[in-house]
Structure 1
Amino acid sequence: MRGIGVSVRLEGGERRKLALHRVERQEGAACAEYVHVYQDDEEAKEAVVRLTLRCCPEGVAAFVEGEIVRSNDFGDRRALSPDDGLLIHIGALDELQGVLANYQHKDWWTRPHFDSDLRALPERTVSLLWRTPSAYFQLLPVTGPAYRADLQADGRAGGLAVRIFSGQGGMTSCRTLAFVLGGGENPYLLPERNVTLALRHLNGQTLPRNAKVYPEILDYLGWCSWDAFYHEVDEKGLLAKAEELQRLGLPVRWVMIDDGWSEVRDRKLYGMDADPAKFPRGLAHTIEALKRQYGIRWVGVWHTIAGYWDGIHPDSEMARELREYLFTTRRGNVMPYPDAGRGFGFWHAWHGYLARQGVDFVKVDSQSAVHNFLRHHLPVGQAASAAHTALEASAALHFDRTIINCMGMSAENIWHRPVSAVSRNSDDFVPQERHGFREHALQNAYNSYYHGAWYWGDWDMFWTENHDDVQNMVLRAVSGGPVYFSDALGRTDPARVWPLIFRDGKIIRCDRTANPTPDCLMRSPISEPLPLKLWNKAGRAGVVAAFHICEAQTDVQGAISLDDVPDMTADSAWVYEHFSRTAVRLARGQSLPFALQAEQCRLFLLVPDRGAVTPIGLADKLVSSAAVERQWEEGKSCMVRLREGGTFIFAADQPPSSVRANGETLKWSPSACPSLYEADCSHLHGAVTLEIVRA
């Protein structure tokens, strides 16, 4: 980075660049600080900005202190522009060999951008990763207690600018952590390292993902009403769908009653309970029936962060009863008060009521609308902090902190949720759109790179009967987040559900958040003829899903190697492909080529080579190796403990002399693929101990 400068814009004025007045260096025990002082020319002396670069072994933290100074206190007190009061200018980045930028293309969502020409960098970029010949670097703008920072292109020179803004007029000073910058040989370590570095200075705004608790409920299979009923959801439809799922034998453990259940007038929330026309016996009756008659263990309900899309109806009884906890914006929207304590009063009252009706958790939508509601009322960071702190305090009290955050990928939301662990990772799944999977997969894959430092991504619901059903099933298998579907009445295909779950309904969830593999991390698989490859881990095994999402309909060529899973340490592994049931032993440095036709996908497991016998896992599960709980040796026998029975598949140098399961001799057979063998123990219930006796 070079050519650093600062400019300011005052309300109603033109942007002007400040002159570098002096640079101060301060040495600490572990870090060095460089303080750059910028100010107006000698005549104006109206703006003074201190940019402090704290350079530590783990990265650089950039702090800004800016102030508008007037010598005449009785004169016009000019203030920073609420939209772009300060810009930090950074000159051209040298030797760029690739870029992944994530930018806020809608108020609620982000998507990737790959152009190495920084003159094309989109506005509202919230993460920038680039590669040079020697290392990777990530520049991560920060939203602090008041101010938000994001990135944008900076003129024709090919540099970039860090925009710092409050969203509120009248602000005459700015003190904030503007960005953090980290570098290294492994790009997948940078987001978590940068977030941890930033949070060290932000006094408990949020936690990194590795310090959060994944909700128990979301470890199980779910079903959501949205794409099944949209706004026409009612008790009759919910119970009919629950009966269908029970008849199909699918262990759906939770149901989300999405938008459409609430009592609403004029797009505003009118009551605490459900719409009486759709739920004539009340929300509690529906929830009790779902749980008692159909074995649904948990039920969640949807609402927005303002109650409903346009807030709370001012003429409603709940508005009158809870008026001390509500706030009316200048444009007339009534919403929970933007103060953590008073806002909690509203959520506590409503969530307490919902919990008494049997509700177990909530999905909270339209979160990035907080800034739209409160623009010019409060600084952007303060508004987000108040909204999320109040909401999460109530959810912790009533729902054991179980929230699905949604429509909240604006930076101020990401940086200000205190403890919630799961957040939507993309725009909506749109089942009717013929090629909708392309954008859906693209956003989830590349958003996960930076978003996964804070949250397990919710990759949204899907349809099990759809033109993209197999691709969507595989995408959820590798995501590391919740798995739930939303088929309408009569439309569920169990064959697209069972490969994702165990018999008790627990989802087979990978260990971390998914990421694009190194060979496509900074390339667009939509515009370039290459597969989108996503990697994750399941125990010691690597998981790599490959998709054809290229706009061109010709085949795309790719390859699998051990380098696709960066933290895999094995020198050799068996690469097992789920759909073809084939396996090849690969050493480090070798690769396995493959081709994908349009809209085709594959799923590869990279299972570390265990020598004479390597268990692959259950062939009828997408992440087969997740069923293997333990492996050990007893004399000439390889012992394997499975979580449950199924078609067990293993690789071996020689055919076994026998295979036993829980002491029972099993028939085994060689696969069509050399060195691969199968044994059927699907009739056994509970955990299964296998003994593979070597010849």
Structure 2
Amino acid sequence: MLEWKESALWDGAHKVLGEFDLSVRLDGETEKRLEPVGRTAGRGSDRLGGYIETAVAYRDADDTVSVRLTVRGYRNTALAFAAAETRNENGHGAQRTFAPKDALVVRAKQPRQPLRLMANYQHKDWWTRPWFGSSFAGLPERTQSLLWKDGGGYRHLLPVTGPTMKTELGGGEAASGLAGGAGGESAASLAIRVSSHIGGLDRFDTLLFALSVADEPYALPGRNAEAALDALGRPAPPRSRRTYPELLDYLGWCSWDAFYHQVSEEGLLEKAAEFKALGLPVRWVMIDDGWSEVRDGKLASFGADGQKFPQGLGHAIEALKERFGIRWVGVWHTIAGYWSGIDPESGIARRLGGSLYTTASGKMIPYPEAGRGFGFWHAWHGELRRQGVDFVKVDSQSAVTNFLKYERSVGEASAAAHEALEASVALHFGGTMINCMGMASENVWHRPLSAVSRSSDDFVPQEKRGFPEHALQNGYNSYYHGAFYWGDWDMFWTMNHDDLQNAVLRAVSGGPVYFSDAPGRTNPELLRPLVYRDGRIVRCDRPANPTEDCLLRDPTAEPLPLKLWNTAGGSGIVASFHIWDGQSAVEGGIGPADVPGLAAETGKYVLYDVLGRGFRIAAAEEKAPLRLKAGACAIHQLTPVRPGGATPIGLADKFVPAHAIAGVREWERSLFVTLREGGELLLVCDDAPERAAANGVPAAVAAKGDGLYAVDCGACEGEVTVEIVKGGA
């Protein structure tokens, strides 16, 4: 493991990233290479602890541009900063200013061959996906997170978008012909690109990236995010200091894939009646795109479309709540009001002109200053709240940069948009919102309060091969995105060619669970393993991540299972999927080592096959064989074996059985298990239990296999305490 030391801080950074070359781009000029001209070193301390710091000064041959590149090293984390300025003879003549794009490029020549790497890059303006390789060469442009492993362990590089500038990674382009330099760029180089998206800057000072090293990979993104956010002055909290919204702990339904733009009061009430008839505890409804009054792709009023909601939005919401027991209703809108902004001929524009801004291309959007933009959101959200709306889904967030390119810096534009929006959401909806189409780093780094954000492109039920990409994006994006937010892994259909796979994916996700089947299409039996009787979802402890054996490999291109791990109720959870392009089976292994930090006093674990209802006892380093046919999935629970001969697994009818266990204690020969609700409690025992009771009432015990037993406490409502008197005394 690399530790930063004063005598070798700069050299230590080079050991990880390689030698640094710097170039700048000025407005109207070609890329210009800079040369190092001086170096200083020192020590200091801040809220992150003690650090050592090395700074290297760079200039061009004409002494018209200077950059100071500083690396500040803590124990196993480093922060890199850049301060750049141009030299102008006076303030009134033509000025040398930095180009909006690639104002600064730091090239690091790969010092040694990574064994493997995984990058998360913007393949669309609003989404990221993983890329896999074994060299910096070929690294996609617009990379927002880079993890690799070499002989020294794992390294994670997290580019930062600060108050003004945005850092992105890429690799593989030629650098020959730079002004002020000669020669070509190594084919295995990493390009660290810094942009503002505006012109006229003659200086900037920015945090470029955070870099951490460790023997294991999973703590690195969180460590980098915490360090960088602290260095930025805490404009936003990491996920560890955000609050997951209570209502998203319950089962929901969304109108989008059921009705698309044809959502209406009639359709919503028809679907709600179906929930009631099926006895499904759906507790929230999201009214997605299609409800608003729009004109030419722009928001025309704060009210609902009169044809779809003839008695108004409030009437539909009241009916959902009063007639069908829906507790919470949310509505959708974009961060600009609607996809192309706000209609400049609307009453909104006339009443709230001071809170709106017209871009150079003629689009009207909320004003890109938090104080002024808040006025628009406060007016709209106040009206929605009076109609009974409880929360919002805010779409098209990464379009902020597109609306304001060359008018506001990328950091400034996004920070203002999110601050104004979230202040209003906090005031009117208690901070409850789902962020969507907002995976660009400027969005990720600048949300001050909200806790849940989409982590993939849309679920598209009609796509026959849609699940592999959907699972791939959610699982691998969560590696870095989970340091900032709980991921929303999107809605799904309970009646679909990928229905079981999608349900299992949500079970392990750690985020919201909601579906979007049209009227007459709901399969309640697929939903019940995901929820309790009161509608609360069986939610794992954190955003799921790929297991280490597939973290740096592409399971769509290689014949191996995609395995995602999480924890719940003191157990490890591993969901496995066949997403390989081929049609033959994929094979792998599964064991306790797949779940980091899972410790057993006895050194043994119950490996329970949730879908197959079988188990085996596994040692800490043991791997049981795993084989999945095309389109198949599995979910396993790894529960540490308890001393004393009896280990509770949890409720048999849940995809994550251990989540139901609220507490376990022993007294003499009895094991007491407190469950969140009644059902069939599974246990693995050395000897058959002598007897059992649920809330003091005798309960039947049935043998389910060699050493697997079930206690029937299904008649108990609410929390139940089960006593199992051990046998074999």
Cα distance, 1:204 vs structure 2: 2.8
C-alpha separation between the residues in 1 aligned to 2:21 and 2:505?
43
> Is 1:332 matched up with 2:348?
no
Matched, 1:66 2:84: yes
Query: 1:111 maps to what in 2?
Result: 129
Deviations 1:257-277 (A, max 9, x none): 000000000000000010011
Per-residue deviation at 1:663?
A: 2.2
State the distance in 1 between where 2:523 and 2:544 align.
25
Taking the TM superposition and a 5 Å limit, the aligned residue runs for 1:281-430 are: 281-430=311-460
Residue 659 of structure 1 is matched in structure 2 by 692
Q: Is the 8 A contact 1:112 1:447 kept in 2?
A: yes
Equivalence for 2:26: 10
Q: Give 5+ residue unaligned stretches, structure 2.
A: 1-16, 174-185
1:80 to 80, 94, 98: 98
- Return the offset for 1:639: 1.2
Aligned residue number for residue 26 of structure 1:
42
Amino acid at match of 1:634: W
Partner of 2:612: 580
**Is 1:40–2:60 an aligned residue pair?**
yes
Deviates more, 1:65-74 or 1:488-497: 65-74
TM-score with structure 2 length normalisation? 0.94
In the TM superposition, what are the counterparts of 1:497-536 in structure 2 within 5 Å?
A: 497-536=527-566
Identify the range of structure 1 (8-17 vs 228-237) with the bigger mean alpha-carbon deviation: 8-17
What are the Cα deviations for residues 305-338 of structure 1, in whole angstroms up to 9, with x where unaligned?
A: 0000000000001111001100000111000000
Contact 2:138 2:172 in 1 (8 A): no
Task: Give the C-alpha shift of residue 629 in structure 1.
Answer: 1.0
C-alpha displacement of 1:117? 2.1
Contact kept? 1:58, 1:193, Cα under 8 Å: no
What are the within-5 Å matches in structure 2 for residues 155-166 of structure 1? 155=173, 156-166=186-196
Aligned twin of 1:623: 656
CA offsets per residue over residues 172-202 of structure 1, 9 Å max, x none? 1111001110101121000000001001111
Is the Cα contact below 8 Å between 1:58 and 1:197 reproduced in 2? Answer: no
1:102 aligns with 2:120: yes
How far is the alpha carbon of 1:74 from its aligned partner?
Answer: 4.1
> SS of 1:382's equivalent?
helix
SS of the aligned residue for 1:290 comes to helix
Aligned to 1:52: 70
1:63 and 1:686 mapped to 2: Cα distance?
54
User: 1:441-480 maps to which residues of 2 (within 5 A)?
Assistant: 441-480=471-510
Shift of 1:95: 3.6
Structure 1: runs of 5 or more not aligned: none
- Give the match's secondary structure for 1:276: coil
Which stretch of structure 1 is more off in the superposition, 674-683 or 309-318? 674-683
In the alignment, residue 232 of structure 1 is paired with which amino acid?
Q
- Distance between the aligned counterparts of 2:97 and 2:622, measured in 1? 61
Please say if 1:248 is aligned against 2:264: no
Deviation of 1:72 after TM superposition, in Å, equals 4.4
Q: Alignment partner for residue 146 of structure 1, among 136, 154, 164? A: 164
Counterpart residue number, 1:567: 597
How far 1:154 sits from its partner (Å)? 4.4
In structure 1, C-alpha distance between the alignment counterparts of 2:135 and 2:248, rounded to whole Å = 41
CA distance in 2, matches of 1:662, 1:49: 71
Equivalent-residue separation in structure 2 for 1:577 and 1:123 (angstroms): 41
CA contact (8 A) 2:76 2:214 kept: no
Where 2:227 maps in the other structure, the secondary structure is helix
Separation (CA, whole Å) in 2 of partners of 1:151 and 1:465: 41
Match of 1:438 in 2: 468
Cα deviation for residue 16 of structure 1 reads 1.3
AA of the residue aligned to 1:39: R
User: Could you list the per-position Cα deviations for residues 105-154 of structure 1 after superposition, in whole angstroms to 9, with x for gaps in the alignment?
Assistant: 00000000111121110000000001112311101100000000010104
Between 1:223-232 and 1:164-173, the stretch displaced more is 164-173
TM-score, length of structure 1 as denominator length: 0.99
> Residue 246 of structure 1 aligns to a residue in which SS?
helix
What is the deviation of 1:674?
Answer: 1.4
Query: In terms of mean alpha carbon deviation, does 94-103 or 106-115 score higher?
Result: 94-103
Please identify runs of 4+ aligned residues in structure 1 that moved more than 4 A.
none
Equivalent pairs, count: 692
From 624, 639, 642, the equivalent of 1:607 is 639
Residues 231-269 of structure 1, C-alpha deviations (whole Å, 9 max, x = no match): 000100001100111111001000000000000000000
Q: Return the match for 2:309 from 275, 279, 284.
A: 279
Q: Secondary structure at the match of 1:390?
A: helix
**DSSP-derived class of the 1:286 partner:** helix
1:668 partner amino acid:
V
Please tell me the residue identity of whatever aligns with 1:28. Answer: G
The answer to whether the 8 Å contact 1:93/1:159 transfers is: no
Deviates further, 7-16 or 514-523: 7-16
Superposed CA deviations along residues 22-47 of structure 1, whole A, max 9, x for unmatched, are 11112235211111101011xx2111
Partner of 2:519: 489
Distance verdict in 2 for CA 1:329–1:573, change over 3 Å: same
Matches of 2:669 and 2:711, distance apart in 1: 18
2:405, 2:470 → 1: CA distance? 30
Q: 2:577 aligns with which of 529, 547, 551?
A: 547
Aligned to 1:597: 629
Residue 555 (structure 2) pairs with residue 537 (structure 1): no
Equivalence for 1:633? 666
Deviations along 1:70-121, whole A, 9 cap, x unmatched? Answer: 2244432121110111101111141411101000000000000111121110
Structure-2 separation of matches of 1:204 and 1:118: 31
**Helix, strand or coil at the partner of 1:183:** strand
**AA partner of residue 96 (structure 1):** P
Matches of 2:111 and 2:615, distance apart in 1: 43
Deviations 1:637-687 (A, max 9, x none): 11111111111111001111112212222222211x311111222122122
Cα distance in structure 2, aligned partners of 1:631 and 1:28: 48
CA contact (8 A) 2:508 2:564 kept: yes
Contact 2:476 2:545 in 1 (8 A): yes
Instruction: Look up the SS of the partner of 2:349 in the other structure.
Output: helix
1:157 Cα deviation after fit: 2.8
Note the alpha carbon deviations across 1:43-73, whole angstroms, 9 max, x for none: x211100001111114111111001112244
Superposed CA deviations along residues 445-500 of structure 1, whole A, max 9, x for unmatched, are 00000000000000000000000000000000000000000000100000111000
